[in-house]
Amino acid sequence: MKRIFTRISVLAALCLLTINVAFAQNITIKGKVIDGGDKTPLPGVTILVKGTQTGTQTDVNGGYSISAPANATLVFNFVGYTALEQAVNSQTTINVSLASSTQQLEQVVVVGYGTQRKIDVTGSVASVKGEDISKQISTNPVGALQGKVAGVSITNTGTPGGSPTITIRGTGTIYGKTVPLYVVDGVWYDDINFLNPSDIANISILKDASAQSIYGIRAANGVVLVTTNKGKKGDAVINYNGTVGFQKVTNKVEMANASEYATAVNEAYALQTPAVAPLFSNTNLGEGTNWYDVVLRDALITNHQLSVSGGSEKSTYNLSLGYLDQDGIVKNNNYKRYTARLSNDFQIFKPLKIGYNVTAASSRSKDAPSTIFRALYAASPVVPVFNADGTYGDPNAYNLGNGSNMNPQATLDFFNQQTTKYKVTGNIFAELKFLKDFTFKTSFGGDFSQDEVRGYIPVYKASNTQQNTNSKLDIDRIENRNWIIENTLTYDKKWNDHSLTVLVGQTAQRNKMYTINADALNVPYSSEGDLYLALGDASTRNVTDLGELSTFASYFGRVNYSYKNRYLLNASIRRDGASQFYGTNNLWGNFPSIGAGWVISNEEFMKDQKIFSNLKLRGSWGKVGNAGVPINPTVLRVNQDPGFIAFFNGSPYTGASIDSFVPPTLYWERSAGTDIGLEMGFLNNRLTIETDYYNRKTEQSIFDIPILGSTGAKTPTLVANQADIQNRGFEFSATWADKTDGGFTYSISGNVGMNENKVINVTSGANPIYRGGAGLTSGYLSTRTVNNRPIGEFYGYQVEGVFQTDAEAAAWPGFKRGDFKYADINGDGVIDLRDRVVLGNPNPKFTYGVNTNFAYKNFDLTLDIQGVADVSVYNANLGNRFGNENFTKDFINNRWTGAGTSNTYPSADLAGGLNNAPNSFYVEKGDYIRLRNIQLGYTLPNAISSKMKMQRLRVFVNAQNALNIFGYKGFSPEVGGTPTNAGIDTNVYPLFATYNFGVNVTF
């Protein structure tokens, strides 16, 4: 892999040395731009040298001046007007007039296996330009989409190099994969973390089944189409984009200081039955240790991207190199990523074009302990980081040692884990046009990746509870080898008032994965970092070698028809076969769709009206599938279990257990969806509005449910088609784009999505699914999934208050003064599992965003706001107690300390009785509104840039997540998780604000 990057680096250097930029041949062109109708000057018109990023804008009088080669072409663009190209031909004065247009109608969007005019699309498709993505300095392109598309919910993670979670129109599966399908230049992926955001030209999100169905079995969770940058005909253009900044923790949770902690612990001891002597004889201990300040830091982040692009009549090219270095907000945590991408298109002769795209990515991270934030939350402030003699502060010295109360500094110092990832991916294609209206395209692509996690635990002793007597090396390695071949034939014909496009295609795929898990004890420490299993004891080595293979075969077709640009029809069908369902008599699935549109504004009776610039009604229906289920789900597996041992002739034999029962037949998870949309444009499309109503139902959803223990299995579940899952909602988006006579241009966009999620049509006899136990004490489960309710809603006791005296609590066995008072739902005088109620919903009902762009002369400003509403978060950090963990400052200030002191917060004895059982106290509102991004930029005047031998120079400052407004008492209410464990905050890597300075240079 290092050789690959070395060769690419050498290639880039050669390109830079051999490219003839030819600045000396530039001439200065001046002129004026006017409205083609009323002949008034047009201020704020963008003028670009075609094939470059060299540009300027007209002044208040419509005048401009630009430096360009004598043989260049100028491109004039302005909101609400048709773009105009004008050859320079050595002219020094060029005056132009722009014609008004319905620009929004002619916008081209990327759809499955092609492109369409926005006005011709009958499904729900959202498009985001690469320039809008690059304005948010994001390590993952998906993170930059947050708040930009209605109906798309994105949960970011603070982990360096981590991938955001994206949900399109709600969660529609429990057992299968929840990630959407990503298609990058024709190759399919589950993640695009390997992509440099600066390499992206456009992202299209297919939101409804009609648009998605052309991708069949992989489209149930939505489809994200990514188009990367291509070279353009013209002189070589060199671009450099670089940023440097720092990340700072926001909304840091305030914890109790040493004195407050000691006082609260003594109170908890006094409430025991019988009462326990105080742990601290002196509670006047001052501030003590602030563990967040000890372990967290302001972290540096830097990002660089260099690209070279250009081309001729016969070929175009684009080469880019990227480097990202991101420190985590936890000390020692770091992530580095290197990316390289090369694409070429060749016009062999007029009907035939071939090309390829290759992307290579390599990353290396020094990981943080997965439990570090739980450790920081729980650590006692009375324990010092280090003692006076240099040894680690020991919770046991204060009688505080337990499974949760550790010294986080020791945890960090003796943690040694690195993750290394390599990925090479790409495709080659050929496109042949023949018989005037036909185009045949063949494409072959794939990827090879290797992920390796190496974790080493040395011999150490920080305390009696934080020590390790045998060093251990763990190695987990995953290799993926995937390929995909696609062939399509397109017939495209326009005649009179008719337009017809017919597409037929075939796809074959193979995904192969190898997994090796190995470990060994007594591996000696090496300061050079060279650690191998062979260095450990041979008798302790364990190696597990696993693999998975899945194959797919598909055939598909689509028809698009338009009559007079008024009446639109789209119909498609895909037939998929997947090896996951081999042996189920259900190997193949059919996924049809149909969509229709009516462009009302093109009707004769609308010609004289002055209200609508565009008015289109569309509707669609379709089916898609989810092949992301475990391989061979109907195969009954028997697992050896050391808990089952039988003796024969005095010798022990390990028994076996069947944990999951499977039916003889399992049907495809299919998602059937209906969408009705209305698109409107006003005032020459300066104001555009789009609304959608959708109803999507996952039919025969696959998941496992608990069954009776009388079957003899250890923890018996049944995997089957158990129920349907419904997501229905409403989306609204609007954009206002305009300019003023003074040269001020701006656009303001807003979007909101509303979604209602619930499980319906549960199979007769199916039991509720209880989950959400991760990180909770005493085996409690905090979520329930049941018929006619949302997936994974929070479930537990309803708090009515706090018992003020023992006399008040006496009527309720197991409770005492200072404990939560729970509602007796069934009125039987006993608090038990039958008194649990619904506490909240982790699936957000509303998501929204506001995105703005402003430009005046050489200044530009971007402001993005994003938020969610009507959602709940389970703050498991508060109740996850084994005794003597620290308390938040909020709890300390509001806790019950005696009769009449509090009827909302319990006593310090949170671990006692049912106080830490799932209840309404721990479920909080997860609503938030966030200043997602603000960026202020300045572009040097063209005359100055030219003197500096640059075509364009822009500098900017940027801040992300700088302002967060929410009521949640944790770091951030943005908490992810699997469908039945979502929204549970036990150990979330918190988000942070990022402040950057950046520069964009074009040569």
**Burial group, residue 90, by CB count within 10 angstroms (0-12, 13-18, 19+):** exposed
Average pLDDT over residues 315-334: 95
Give the max Cα distance, the chain: 104
**Fold classification of 104-232 (topology level):** Ferric Hydroxamate Uptake Protein; Chain A, domain 1 (2.170.130)
C-beta separation of 518 from 490 below 8 A: no
- State yes or no: pLDDT of 596 exceeds 90: yes
- Rounded Cα–Cα distance for residues 710 and 716 (Å): 9
- Tens digit of each residue's pLDDT (9 = 90 or more) over 632-650: 665 666 666 555 666 667 6
- Tens digit of each residue's pLDDT (9 = 90 or more) over 553-583: 999 999 999 999 999 999 999 999 988 776 6
Give the other-Cβ count within 10 Å of 875's Cβ: 22
Three-state secondary-structure class, residue 552: strand
- Rounded Cα–Cα distance for residues 211 and 692 (Å): 14
Higher pLDDT, 892 or 89: 892
Residue from 372, 111, 48 nearest 237 by CA: 48
Q: What is the pLDDT of residue 401?
A: 65
Q: What is the pLDDT of residue 907?
A: 96
- Rounded Cα–Cα distance for residues 304 and 320 (Å): 10
Among 2.60.120.10, 2.60.40.1120, 1.10.3720.10, 3.30.56.10, what is the CATH number of 26-98? 2.60.40.1120
List, as one string, the DSSP characters of 82-114: --EEEE-TT-SB--EEE-B--HHHH-EEEETTE
- State yes or no: pLDDT of 770 exceeds 70: yes
- Rounded Cα–Cα distance for residues 426 and 444 (Å): 9
**Burial group, residue 643, by CB count within 10 angstroms (0-12, 13-18, 19+):** exposed
- Rounded Cα–Cα distance for residues 146 and 635 (Å): 40
Q: What is the pLDDT of residue 991?
A: 80
- The DSSP call for residue 214 is G
- Rounded Cα–Cα distance for residues 465 and 403 (Å): 8
Higher pLDDT, 585 or 242: 242
- Rounded Cα–Cα distance for residues 695 and 693 (Å): 7
Residue from 891, 899, 894, 898 nearest 916 by CA: 891
- State yes or no: pLDDT of 10 exceeds 90: no
Residue from 723, 622, 619 nearest 223 by CA: 622
- State yes or no: pLDDT of 673 exceeds 90: yes
- Rounded Cα–Cα distance for residues 58 and 78 (Å): 10
- Tens digit of each residue's pLDDT (9 = 90 or more) over 682-695: 998 899 999 999 99
Average pLDDT over residues 828-853: 95
- State yes or no: pLDDT of 717 exceeds 70: no
* 138-to-129, 166, 653, 678, 959 alpha-carbon distances in Å: 15, 15, 54, 32, 11
Q: Tokens 């260099």 map to which residue?
A: 306
Q: Give percent above pLDDT 70 in the chain.
A: 90
pLDDT classification of 7: cutoffs 50, 70, 90: very low
Higher pLDDT, 768 or 376: 376
Q: What is the pLDDT of residue 586?
A: 74
Q: What is the pLDDT of residue 441?
A: 97
C-beta separation of 218 from 247 below 8 A: no
Residue 487 phi, psi dihedral angles, 5° rounding: -130, 130
C-beta separation of 911 from 878 below 8 A: no
- State yes or no: pLDDT of 3 exceeds 50: no
pLDDT classification of 535: cutoffs 50, 70, 90: confident
Structure tokens at 602: 């093109």
Structure tokens at 615: 């008015």
Which stretches does DSSP call E strand in 564-668? 567-578, 588-599, 612-626, 639-648, 651-657, 660-661
Residue from 507, 609, 602, 500 nearest 558 by CA: 500
Q: What is the pLDDT of residue 653?
A: 64
Three-state secondary-structure class, residue 480: strand
926 φ/ψ sector (left φ>0, alpha ψ -120 to 50, else beta):
alpha
**Burial group, residue 707, by CB count within 10 angstroms (0-12, 13-18, 19+):** middle
- State yes or no: pLDDT of 102 exceeds 60: no
Give the contacts of 725 (CB within 8 A, at least 6 positions apart): 171, 172, 173, 174, 697, 698, 701, 757, 758, 759, 760, 791
Q: Tokens 């501030």 map to which residue?
A: 287
| Residues linked to residue 55 through DSSP beta bridges, in sequence order | 48
- Tens digit of each residue's pLDDT (9 = 90 or more) over 186-245: 899 999 989 988 899 999 999 999 999 999 989 999 999 999 999 888 888 899 999 999
Pairing of strands 63-69, 352-366: unpaired
- Tens digit of each residue's pLDDT (9 = 90 or more) over 37-87: 667 788 878 898 887 778 888 887 788 999 888 888 899 988 667 788 888
- State yes or no: pLDDT of 15 exceeds 80: no
Q: What is the pLDDT of residue 119?
A: 87
Q: What is the pLDDT of residue 364?
A: 96
Q: What is the pLDDT of residue 642?
A: 58
- Rounded Cα–Cα distance for residues 957 and 860 (Å): 11
Give the other-Cβ count within 10 Å of 692's Cβ: 24
Give the other-Cβ count within 10 Å of 273's Cβ: 9
Three-state secondary-structure class, residue 9: helix
Q: Which amino acid is at 923?
A: V
* 180-to-324, 698, 841 alpha-carbon distances in Å: 25, 15, 22
Q: What is the pLDDT of residue 582?
A: 67
C-beta separation of 930 from 968 below 8 A: no
C-beta separation of 822 from 914 below 8 A: yes
Q: What is the pLDDT of residue 323?
A: 96
- State yes or no: pLDDT of 708 exceeds 90: no
| Residues linked to residue 292 through DSSP beta bridges, in sequence order | none
Domain boundaries, the chain: 26-98, 104-232
Q: What is the mean pLDDT of the chain?
A: 88
- Tens digit of each residue's pLDDT (9 = 90 or more) over 263-300: 999 999 999 888 899 999 999 999 999 999 999 999 99
Which strand (E) or helix (H) includes residue 442?
Answer: strand 438-457
Q: What is the pLDDT of residue 357?
A: 95
- Tens digit of each residue's pLDDT (9 = 90 or more) over 795-828: 999 999 999 999 999 999 889 999 999 999 999 9
CA angle 639-641-643, nearest 5°? Answer: 155
pLDDT classification of 348: cutoffs 50, 70, 90: very high
- The DSSP call for residue 392 is B
Q: What is the pLDDT of residue 873?
A: 96
pLDDT classification of 22: cutoffs 50, 70, 90: very low
- Tens digit of each residue's pLDDT (9 = 90 or more) over 875-890: 999 988 888 899 999 9
Q: What is the pLDDT of residue 5?
A: 41
- State yes or no: pLDDT of 24 exceeds 60: no
- Rounded Cα–Cα distance for residues 425 and 186 (Å): 11
- Tens digit of each residue's pLDDT (9 = 90 or more) over 880-918: 888 889 999 999 999 999 999 999 999 999 888 899 899
Average pLDDT over residues 497-509: 95
Q: What is the pLDDT of residue 583?
A: 61
Q: What is the pLDDT of residue 715?
A: 58
